[in-house]
């Protein structure tokens, strides 16, 4: 049975998951309920994706509230995994519609006509602001 390791937010843990034979990684801070001062999942994503070196898939869980969040996650190298529970089925449909519309608008504004057009060059992160070199993908 394939095992996905959830709660990975560092390169060290990502390398350990790959080395241990995990089928995939889920970048998650468990809603930041477990520890104070846990980084946002989007802030940890790039480090984890880089450390996994494409050997196993890396997914993002949490912090996805808008279509622009979907765009950022894809630009940093991960598809998005998220759960929605508000106002039953109608609420889920509404949120998914809103996210899709925002995501499509963000793609258009970014000059992307297909998912494969979304690259790391489309976003600016805290690490960029601090002058850290961009990881090689």
Q: What are the structural domains of the chain?
A: 4-129 (3.20.20.70)
The pLDDT profile of the chain, 137 residues, written as one tens digit per residue, is: 899 999 999 999 999 999 999 999 999 887 666 666 778 888 899 999 999 999 999 988 877 788 888 888 888 887 765 544 445 667 667 777 888 899 999 999 999 999 999 998 888 877 777 666 555 54
Q: Which of 6, 15, 30, 55 is catalytic?
A: 30
pTM value > 0.85:
no
Rounded to whole angstroms, how far apart are CA atoms 137 and 134?
9
Question: What's the longest Cα–Cα distance across the chain?
Answer: 44
Indicate if 19 belongs to the active site: no
List of long-range contacts for 107-113, beta carbons under 8 Å, 24+ apart: 107/71, 110/71
């Amino acid at each position: 049975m394939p095992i996905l390791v959830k709660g990975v937010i560092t390169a060290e843990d990502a390398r350990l998951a790959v080395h241990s034979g995990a089928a995939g990684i889920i970048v998650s801070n468990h809603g930041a309920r477990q520890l104070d001062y846990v980084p946002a999942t989007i802030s940890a994503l790039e480090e984890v994706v880089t450390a996994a070196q494409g050997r196993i898939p890396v997914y993002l869980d949490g912090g996805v509230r808008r279509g622009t969040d979907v765009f950022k996650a894809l630009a940093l190298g991960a598809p998005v995994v998220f759960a929605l529970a508000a106002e039953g089925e109608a609420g889920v449909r509404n949120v998914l519609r809103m996210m899709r519309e925002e995501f499509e608008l963000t793609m258009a504004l970014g000059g992307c006509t297909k998912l494969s057009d979304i690259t790391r060059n489309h976003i600016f992160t805290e690490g960029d602001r601090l002058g850290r070199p961009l990881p090689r993908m």
